[in-house]
Amino acid sequence: MGNSMGTIFRITTFGESHGKAIGVVIDGCPAGVMVDEQAIAAELSRRRPGQSAVTTSRKEDDTPEVLSGVLDGKSTGAPIAILIRNKDAKSEQYQGMEGLVRPGHANFSWLAKYGAFDGRGGGRASARETACRVAAGAIAKSLLSEQGIHVRAWVEQIGDVAMPAASESTGDGAHDCDPEENALRCPNRKAASAMEVAILRAKEEGDSLGGIVRFSVEGCPAGLGEPLYERMESELAKAMLCIPAAKAFGMGNGFDACAMRGSEHNDVPTGIVDGKLTAKTNHAGGVQGGITTGMPLTGTVGFKPTSTIRKEQQTIDLQGKAATFAPPADARHDPCVVSRAVAVVEAMAALVVADFLLRARCARMQLSGTQEQGPSGSGEEC
């Protein structure tokens, strides 16, 4: 249970960190969506391990194998299955840890629930599983792109090093480069350099850092989302907070809104263009009453410091007796997962928006002879 997400555009992932392979099955993808294996591979390369000095040294090609649901580069309407093989697991590094409660890890909680835990690199609880989401997200991005909707994300903060303050009108920080130009995926060169120094210092000390990723969905139509229990922001929050290491979510200004007055936070409308609301600001992050306004969807995801570190830590064994946890000298870990999480955040946003886009086509009946258009702008309704 809990291995699937989505209502119409629905994904189910499978596999463990040190198993033979991981993978995803996408059900509900409409026929005719472009499915480019090279584009999927490109998205996976942004998430894969071993890509820079600020990430883990585990080496995985993360080559996607599309097994079904695609013909001549387009989806057929059948389930799309994608397999990603594990090649550099090195399970022997985890021998001797089975009887210890690893600080910050899920082995005790999984044991409490299931009575068993695959401790080889975290098993099913490992962030390795997020490669499946990125592969599925690449197809969701393709679907959205064909509707003029584009998803992007970037690193806004690492540890106590943050980008310059955000612009009042756009919600973006002081962007002076493409975030893909540097290993940190931060769109501010000075901040990116300082972030890298901070991560490498933590790495040298055998420690780790957390940080914040900001996302933006541009071109999103008005009318997506539900007014009560499946609001756009609540579904985005659920998607983001099920990313391993994610501990906080904010829509628009997020927690900063708590210190604002209503006169400051209210987004003053300026017009309606192509069925989308325009406003002087976007403090609400493009959502009102759980439903999109047509403004860009923006929000932040906060990630904790990586749990696996090289420092010796005090813990207990599974009988509750005091013990010392010391990972092997050659153990591999991310001193900071945040730069790799950018691709995952984009994927989760794309999956949520793609699902809502398909659901919105059944929100109201198109009456014969009317010219009303639905959220997709196509005028086609169920």
Please give the mean pLDDT across all residues of the chain: 89
For 273-302, b/e burial (b = at least 16 CB within 10 A) is eeebbebebbbbbbbbebbbbbbbbbbbbb
Q: pLDDT tens across 78-96, in order?
A: 999 999 998 865 555 555 6
The pLDDT value recorded for residue 380 is 44
Q: How many residues does the chain have?
A: 382
Burial class for 156, CB neighbours closer than 10 Å (0-12, 13-18, 19+): buried
Q: In terms of Cα–Cα distance, which of 236, 242, 249 is closest to 302?
A: 249
Q: What is the mean pLDDT of residues 267-287?
A: 96
Q: Which of the four pLDDT bands, split at 50, 70 and 90, describes residue 56?
A: low
pLDDT in tens, 325-335: 887 766 667 89
- Could you list the beta-strand ranges (E) of 3-89: 4-5, 10-15, 21-27, 64-68, 70-71, 74-75, 80-85
- For 105-149, the pLDDT digits (tens) are 888 888 888 888 776 667 788 888 999 999 999 999 999 999 999
Considering 13-17, 114-118, 165-169, the range whose residues carry the highest mean pLDDT is: 13-17
- Give per-residue pLDDT as tens, 217-235: 999 999 999 999 999 999 9
- Class level of CATH domain 4-360: alpha beta
In this prediction, residue 365 carries a pLDDT of 72
pLDDT at 114: 87
Distance CA 277, CA 292 (A): 9
Percent of the chain with pLDDT over 90: 69
Q: What residue ranges do the domains of the chain occupy?
A: 4-360
Q: Residue 99 has which token pair?
A: 């009887």
pLDDT at 172: 55
Residue 150 has pLDDT above 60, yes or no: yes
Tokens of 101: 């409660």
Of 352, 208, 365, 379, nearest in space to 292 by CA: 352
pLDDT category at 339 given cuts 50, 70, 90 is very high
Instruction: State the DSSP H helix or E strand holding residue 34, giving kind and residue range, or none if neither.
Output: none
More confident residue, 377 or 51: 51
Let me know: does 290 contact 233? Beta carbons within 8 Å. yes
Question: Does the pLDDT at position 242 exceed 80?
Answer: yes
User: pTM for the full model?
Assistant: 0.90
Indicate if the pLDDT at residue 53 is higher than 90. Answer: no
